[in-house]
Amino acid sequence: MKILIVDDSLTVRKIVTRYLLKHGYDQIDEAVDGKEALVLLQQYEYGCIFLDINMPVMDGFAVLEWLRAVPWRNSVHVVVMSTEVTLYSPKKIRDMGIDTAITKPFTGNEFEKIAVSLLNVIASKENSVTLVYDGPILIIDDSMAMRNIIRKQLSNLNCLNVTEAMDGKDGLEKISEWAMLYEEEEKMGIVFLDLIMPNMDGLELIEMLEEKGLLSRLQIVLLSGNIEMALDMLDGVSIKAALPKPFEHTAFVSALKPLIEDTKEILTQGNFTDIQLFFDTEQPKAIPFSLMSIHPENIDELDEYLLSLFESIALGTSFPKERFREISGEKFGSWISSVYRPLFSIDPKISTYSELESLYGRIEESAHHETVIGSIGNKEIEEYCKTVLIPMDKDYIDLTTKIGRYKLAVKTLIERKNKLVQHYKNSHSSEIKEAYEKQEHDLLNYRKGLENHEKLREELVDSLESEYKPKLETILNSQRNRMALLSNQMRAAFDRALWRGMSSSVRFRTYCNTHSRHVALSTQSWLENEGKKEFFEQRGYFENNFCTSILIVGFKDGESGRLREELKKMFPLYNVQAFSTWTIKSYSLPYEPSLFIINRESKELNLEEYVKEVAEYYETLPNALNTLIIYEGSIKSEDLLGNNSLYNLKLKNYMKIPKNSNEFGLMEIKIKSLIF
């Protein structure tokens, strides 16, 4: 790495050069002021600049301003050696493009601890591993320069949920905040703790934490120039590791990695066929269903009767009734065996297991009924119309009643006529003969009436059949569609429960970190890395999944278009959408996106109302939404420390709108910390 030292003091340049050479950094150039520095900067590529501020001819601020405009600004790191800049806030120092600042006057030992640690971080960036830890980290050190360096190292490792404290007293306050934020969690976070500090040093802080019962809930990495003393304090329970000052990249990773990964307990390879899951076992047989067993009072009630019968399957099941995705049964079966099995092999105690088991049983039941309805053919429809529906028609009932009466009258007249014939054989009475002839006449009339009514009934049957059959087919088709909808809703509910289980499982998240996978992309990763043939067929389905979408809201067309294009470059597997309007229902997204990027200063967007509406729509809480708040001006401290869930202390989910490539790079890191 080529290094430039810019300082008008020969003594300072000699001290800096001596300690850089001591640690193997021998490509060093010197400049006595800013003007000489700019000449060198236009000729050579430097990895790091040690820059004084107060110099003749051209000061350090002018050099910083010049650096801001060059395209290769991101590749050079700046360490300011000054008293002025160290009075600024850490944020302002970072906004000025300064990596860290060393207060003058400094000793060689002080310079060595800070500068060499930073150079080690810079040199290791290209080969840096990605740990992707989204839990809280606290740096407690009285040296702002050392805090900046540790933050930079953590940033390179994609560990961005970082806060700072300048001494033990300040650190105790922030850890007390953790105790409220993470009240239900066994472990609160990781602490990098300097041992020697004013006000309250590291030893006093440890004693105070133990007294308050908070020490056991922390994972502490000690920082000390006296590494032997720090090593003696390790207890393996809360005080996990110790780092010397200056520290090396490999030592830093070795200290941090075991705290965020539990690789010993993770099953990196498993024989998934040996794992017995609920979908491997024989499901209870569904209750047999026959269309002929349903006897509604009329055909208009059949639709409601079928609906209530089949939707009772979903009774007590919570799923988004307005939002669903079409997941075919075949794809669903392949998907759960590809994703659920390996997930369960990693974390058999996943919290959503019972919910998934219940949903799967209902999905199987709905699939059975969907199949039954789909198998009802034309012959069964005709039979149902004739034997069930038509006999309930009022006109049909009236005609049938009349036919019955006519049949009874014909039967009665025949019996009377037969009796009169017997009487006539015995007496040959003219009166009997007249009565017989009258009965014969009446019988003829009733037979004609019976024939006419039976003919009317046949015509009515034909008419009702032509009316009922298409109506019944329409009802059954409607039920097929409703059952398909119901199945998709329950599969979507299963999908949502599975993703919730994946994202909440510490073991599964650890596995994803270990294998550089993203929880939201793990379905795709499993299908691809486990060699599933279906992966390429389902690639489109998983790439457009709701879990891999980023939603940009509340920006003008130009700004949102630029943000969208930049994010598509950063996250090519994500579906990035941008909207200026704020009605969530217009987005047509089945589940909540991986991230909402919201313009805090939009005049058209009521941010509070929007987040509330989104939370209600996706059946969750506002502070459970993954949001990144973009602002132009500034955010007041009361906004950050209040109860406003949009500025979540845990996620640090706010940043200024990016204007250049360097700031978009910071945005990429910020988004990775939120969605990975």
Note the pLDDT tens digit of each residue in 32-57: 999 999 999 999 989 899 999 889 88
Task: Point out the least confidently predicted range of 41-45, 51-55, 209-213, 311-315.
Answer: 311-315
Determine the pLDDT at residue 546.
Answer: 45
Determine the pLDDT at residue 268.
Answer: 42
Q: Is the pLDDT of residue 217 over 70?
A: yes
Is there a contact between 241 and 219 (Cβ–Cβ < 8 Å)?
A: no
- The candidate with the shortest Cα–Cα distance to 651, out of 668, 621, 674, 622, is 674
Helix axis angle, 117-124 relative to 144-156, nearest 10°? 10
Determine the pLDDT at residue 650.
Answer: 46
Is there a contact between 366 and 310 (Cβ–Cβ < 8 Å)?
A: yes
Instruction: Enumerate residues 6+ apart whose C-beta is below 8 A from 497.
Output: 352, 355, 356, 359
Confidence class for position 528, pLDDT limits 50, 70, 90 = low
What is the rounded radius of gyration, in angstroms, for the C-alpha atoms of the chain? 40
Q: What is the mean pLDDT of the chain?
A: 79
Better-predicted residue by pLDDT, 39 or 583:
39
In angstroms, rounded to a whole number, what is the distance separating the alpha carbons of residues 47 and 45? Answer: 7
Determine the pLDDT at residue 264.
Answer: 38
Confidence class for position 287, pLDDT limits 50, 70, 90 = low
Kindly list the distances between the CA atom of residue 80 and the CA atoms of 26, 245, 417, 541, in Å, as whole numbers in the listed order. Answer: 20, 19, 129, 51
Better-predicted residue by pLDDT, 627 or 272:
627
Q: Is the pLDDT of residue 286 over 70?
A: no
Model confidence over 422-456: pLDDT tens digits? 888 788 788 888 888 888 888 899 999 999 999 99
Determine the pLDDT at residue 265.
Answer: 43
Model confidence over 55-78: pLDDT tens digits? 988 999 899 989 888 878 778 889
Determine the pLDDT at residue 254.
Answer: 83
Is there a contact between 16 and 115 (Cβ–Cβ < 8 Å)?
A: yes
CATH number of 544-675: 3.40.50.2300
Determine the pLDDT at residue 455.
Answer: 93
Q: What is the mean pLDDT of residues 375-388?
A: 88
Q: Is the pLDDT of residue 269 over 70?
A: no
Q: What is the mean pLDDT of residues 135-153?
A: 86
Q: Is the pLDDT of residue 365 over 90?
A: no
**Portion of the chain with pLDDT greater than 90, in percent:** 14
Q: What is the mean pLDDT of residues 168-176?
A: 90
Task: Point out the least confidently predicted range of 1-15, 81-95, 220-234.
Answer: 81-95
Supply 169's token pair. 């007293």
SS3 159: coil
CATH topology match: 125-260 vs 544-675? yes
Determine the pLDDT at residue 502.
Answer: 77
Supply 173's token pair. 């306050």
- The candidate with the shortest Cα–Cα distance to 218, out of 181, 183, 191, 179, is 191
Determine the pLDDT at residue 192.
Answer: 95
Q: Is the pLDDT of residue 266 over 50?
A: no
Better-predicted residue by pLDDT, 37 or 670:
37
Convert 108-130 into a string of H (helix), E (strand) and C (coil). Answer: HHHHHHHHHHHHHHHHHCCCCCC
Domain 2-106 has CATH 1.10.3720.10: no
Supply 441's token pair. 């006449």
Write out the H or E segment, with its range, that includes residue 630. Answer: strand 627-631
Task: Point out the least confidently predicted range of 35-39, 430-434, 481-485, 543-547.
Answer: 543-547
Domain boundaries, the chain: 2-106, 125-260, 264-510, 544-675
Kindly list the distances between the CA atom of residue 54 and the CA atoms of 3, 38, 151, 659, in Å, as whole numbers in the listed order. Answer: 20, 16, 27, 29
Determine the pLDDT at residue 205.
Answer: 93
Better-predicted residue by pLDDT, 206 or 369:
206
In angstroms, rounded to a whole number, what is the distance separating the alpha carbons of residues 440 and 417? Answer: 7
Determine the pLDDT at residue 5.
Answer: 94
Supply 293's token pair. 């067993």
Supply 467's token pair. 């009316």
Q: Is the pLDDT of residue 399 over 80?
A: yes
Highest mean pLDDT among 42-46, 610-614, 672-676: 42-46
Q: What is the mean pLDDT of residues 12-20?
A: 90
Phi and psi at 500, nearest 5°, equal -65, -40
Highest mean pLDDT among 130-144, 297-311, 454-468: 454-468
In angstroms, rounded to a whole number, what is the distance separating the alpha carbons of residues 272 and 345? Answer: 7
pTM (2 d.p.): 0.47
24: left (phi over 0), alpha (psi -120 to 50) or beta: left
Determine the pLDDT at residue 171.
Answer: 92
Residue with tokens 């860290």: 100
Supply 414's token pair. 């025949």
Determine the pLDDT at residue 49.
Answer: 94
User: For 125-260, which CATH class?
Assistant: alpha beta
**Portion of the chain with pLDDT greater than 70, in percent:** 80
Write out the H or E segment, with its range, that includes residue 244. Answer: strand 239-244
In angstroms, rounded to a whole number, what is the distance separating the alpha carbons of residues 614 and 80? Answer: 45
Determine the pLDDT at residue 257.
Answer: 82
Kindly list the distances between the CA atom of residue 195 and the CA atoms of 215, 243, 269, in Å, as whole numbers in the listed order. Answer: 15, 11, 41
Determine the pLDDT at residue 233.
Answer: 84
Determine the pLDDT at residue 271.
Answer: 52
Q: Is the pLDDT of residue 526 over 60?
A: no
In angstroms, rounded to a whole number, what is the distance separating the alpha carbons of residues 645 and 337? Answer: 37
Confidence class for position 267, pLDDT limits 50, 70, 90 = very low
Is there a contact between 534 and 524 (Cβ–Cβ < 8 Å)?
A: no
**What length is written for the chain?**
676
